[in-house]
Structure 1
C-alpha cells in the first residue's frame, strides 16, 4: 500500500513537470509551486522528521506494553508509565525527564527503554532521535575524559537542536568513568535554555547494575517475611538505592552532582526475577519467532538456570539474560 502511494505521487509529479512547458510564465510558476509542494510531501513521507507523524506518544500503548511484556516488574512498570506519560503530556515541562534504571543483569532495563522508544517514535529504537551510548564502546579510555566530555556535550546539543523530543540512553553506567556524566548537568537542570538551546523536552535514561544488591536485599527481606513481591513499593527501595548508587565508586553516578542536586527524577528499581518470570520470558521468546509457546520447553529452560539462595532457588542469577540463546536447545 505504501509503495503504491509513492508510485502515484511520483507519477503525478512527473506529469506536472512535463506540463510546465505548456503554460505561460504566471501559470508555470503556479505549477512549479505545486510540484515543489508535492515533492516535499513525498520527502516527508519517506524521511523521518521531528513532527507528530513520526513523534507521537502512545500513553495507553506504553502502559499495556509494560504491563504485558515486562515480566515481574510491577514497580518499574508503574513508575515508568506514570513518569513518561506525565512528562510527554506536559506541553511545557520545567526540565528534561531523567530516569535512572537499576537492577541486576537480565531484569529488563534495556527492554523497558525499547518499550518507551516504541511508544514515542514511529521507528522505535531505529529512530534518528533515539541515541544510545555504551560506556565501554563510546568512552573506553579514562585518559581521554576531557575529549569525551566535549564530544558528549556537542552531540547532545546538536541532536536536541534538531529535535527537542530527543531521547538519550546511557547503557552500562556502572562501567562509565566517574565525573563524565556531570559534563551534561546543565542540560538536565531547570534552565530555560543553555547556549540558546532548550533541553526541557528531551529524555535521558541511565541503565546500571549498580544498586542491584540493595534491590535484591529488599526483595529477599520481603520473601523471608512471607510477603509478596507485589507489596514492594518505591518508598521501600528508593532511598537505599539512591545512596547505594551515589556511594558506589564503580558507578558512573558516584558522587555525581546529578544526584546531589536532585536532577534524577526517578530511581527505578528492577527486582530480581523468579522462576515463573523466566518461564514467561521463554514463552515470549518463542512467540517472537512466530512459534506457539511450548510450556514444556519453557519449563526446561527455566529449570536449567542458576538461582539464589542456593537451597531455596528463589531468584534467577541472570534473570532472563540468556533465554533467547537457550530455548532453541531444548525445543
Structure 2
C-alpha cells in the first residue's frame, strides 16, 4: 500500500516536471510554484502525517470490533470502548490515557491494543505514531537501566513533540525491570506541559500477565457458584487486581508510583477463555487466512487444547494463543 502510493506520487511529479519544461521562463516560474504546492498536497495525501486525514477516531468501529472480534471479554470490551471513546472525544484532556491490560496469555490483550490502533490511525499498527516496546527486546540488561530510562524519556518526548496523538504500547510488563517505567511518570501526570511539550493527548497501554491469577480466581469463584461470566463486573476485580500487580515483585509495575499516584486510569481484566471462545477463535483464524470456516475443524482444534481445572475442563490454559498455527494441522 505504502509502496503503491509512493510510486503514484513519483509518477505525478515526473509528469508535472515534463510539462513545466514546455513553457517560457515566466510561465515556467508560475508552473513551478503550482507544482511545488501540488507536490506538497500530494505528499501530505500519500505520506502519513499527524492530521485528521490520518488520525480520525472511529468510536462506532471500535465498539463493534471489540464486541464482534474480541471473544469472551465482555468486561474488557466495555471498559476499553468507554475509556478510549471518552478520551478521544475530549478536545482538552487533563492527562494522557493510561490503560493497564492484565490476564493470562492468549486472552486478547495484544489483539485489543491492535483494535484500538486500527480505529484511531488510518495505518493501524503500521502507523509511525504507534510505538511498541517489549521488555526482552528493548530493555534486556538490568545493568543498563539508567541508559534505558534516558533513552525511553527521549524517545517519548521526541515522538510526542512530532505528534501529540502518539500511542505507546508496553508489552511484557511482567518481564520489565521494576523501576524502569517510573522514569516516564511525569509524562503520565496532570502537567499541562513539561519542557514545552504537552503529553495530554497521548495514549499509554501496558500489557501484562501479572495479576492473571487473581482474575482466574474470581472467574473460578463465579463458575463454582453457578454464575455466568457475564455477571462479573469491574468492581469484582479492579481493587484486587491493582493490589496484586502493585505487590508482584516480578512485575514491571511493582511498587510503581504510577499506581501509587493513581495515574493508571483503568486496570482492564481479561478473563480466561472457555471452549466456546476458543472455537470462535479457530473459526475467525480460518476466515482471516482466506479459508472457509469449518465448524468440524474448529471443534477438533478447540477440543485438543488444554483446559483447567483438569477434570471439569472449564478454562483454556493458553487461551487462543496458538490457534492460528494449529488449525491447518486438522484439515
Q: What's the TM-score, normalizing by structure 1? A: 0.96
| Residue of structure 2 aligned with 1:17, choices 4, 17, 20 | 20
- SS of equivalent to 2:21: helix
2-side partners of 1:28 and 1:160: how far apart? 40
In the alignment, is the contact (CA less than 8 A) between 2:285 and 2:324 conserved in 1? yes
Distance 1:15 1:52 in 2: 33
How far apart, in 2, do the equivalents of 1:206 and 1:200 lie?
Answer: 17
**Alignment match, 2:274:** 274
Change (3 A) 1:51 1:217: same
User: Aligned residues, how many?
Assistant: 328
Moved more, 37-46 or 302-311: 37-46
CA contact (8 A) 1:75 1:232 kept: yes
CA contact (8 A) 2:98 2:263 kept: yes
Inter-partner Cα distance in structure 1 for 2:12 and 2:38: 8
Which residue of 2 is the match for residue 147 of structure 1? 147
Distance in 2, Cα, partners of 1:329 & 1:115: 28
Deviation at residue 45 of structure 1 after TM alignment:
2.1
TM-superposed deviation, 1:9: 3.6
**C-alpha deviation, 1:32, in angstroms:** 2.2
Show the counterpart of 2:255.
255
Residue 202 of structure 1 is matched in structure 2 by: 202
Q: Tell me, what secondary structure is at the counterpart of 1:132?
A: strand
CA contact (8 A) 1:9 1:38 kept: no
Output one character per residue of 1:246-266: Cα deviation in whole Å (capped at 9) or x when no partner.
000000000000000000000
C-alpha separation in 1, matches of 2:159 and 2:19: 36
Provide the TM-score with structure 2 as the length reference.
0.96
Q: Partner of 2:321 in structure 1?
A: 321
1:17 Cα deviation (Å)?
Answer: 2.1
Q: In structure 2, how many angstroms separate the alpha carbons of the residues matched to 1:39 and 1:324? A: 43
Question: How far apart, in 1, do the equivalents of 2:79 and 2:208 lie?
Answer: 17
Shift of 1:5: 6.7
Q: CA deviation at 1:155?
A: 0.3
Task: State the distance in 2 between where 1:230 and 1:135 align.
Answer: 33
What is the alpha-carbon root mean square deviation over aligned residues?
Answer: 1.6
2:289 corresponds in structure 1 to 289
Q: Which residue of 1 aligns with 2:173?
A: 173
Structure 1 position 183, deviation (Å): 0.1
State the distance in 2 between where 1:138 and 1:17 align: 49
Superposition map of 1:105-254 within 5 A:
105-254=105-254
| Cα offset, 1:292, TM superposition | 1.3
- Please report how far the alpha carbon of residue 29 of structure 1 lies from its aligned counterpart in structure 2 after TM superposition: 4.0
Gaps of 5+ in 2: none
Aligned-partner Cα distance in 2 for 1:249–1:239? 18
Q: Alignment partner of 1:241: what SS?
A: helix
